[in-house]
Amino acid sequence: MSADISGAYAFWLVVTAIDGTTMALPSIGSCAEQFAVPTGGNNPHARVVTLVTCATRWARAAAIGPYGTGEQPLADDLVDAFGPGMVNLADRNFCEPLCNSTDICRPFRQ
């Protein structure tokens, strides 16, 4: 059985996406110390930002931090996962910080 990767490329570039989410963690051990508990919440939460290949939903890279950490600083940790031959779908929450803090958008700024 082979995977259908017909939507994996656009103009010979691998199509990827970056986005973030949060997830509840159990209140055991050192979770509450390492990850923050949201205001009014009972359990600690982790913030996760992932870079995925769109057609296969394969996670190429991920960054995990405490709930209080913003998505942009976590996205900065994923910069090394970007490479030639990739196009990334990202909302403006990610585009501006990544383009301002790295060279990945340099060809588009010239």
- Per-residue model confidence (pLDDT) at position 96: 61
Q: How confident is the model at residue 25 (pLDDT cuts 50, 70, 90)?
A: very high
Which residues have C-beta within 8 Å of that of residue 70, sequence separation ≥ 6? 47
Q: Which two structure tokens, joined as six digits, stand for 27?
A: 């209140």
- Per-residue model confidence (pLDDT) at position 102: 52
Q: Which secondary structure element, helix H or strand E, spans residue 60, and what is its range?
A: strand 58-66
pTM greater than 0.85: no
89 and 16 Cβ atoms separated by less than 8 Å = yes
- Per-residue model confidence (pLDDT) at position 34: 87
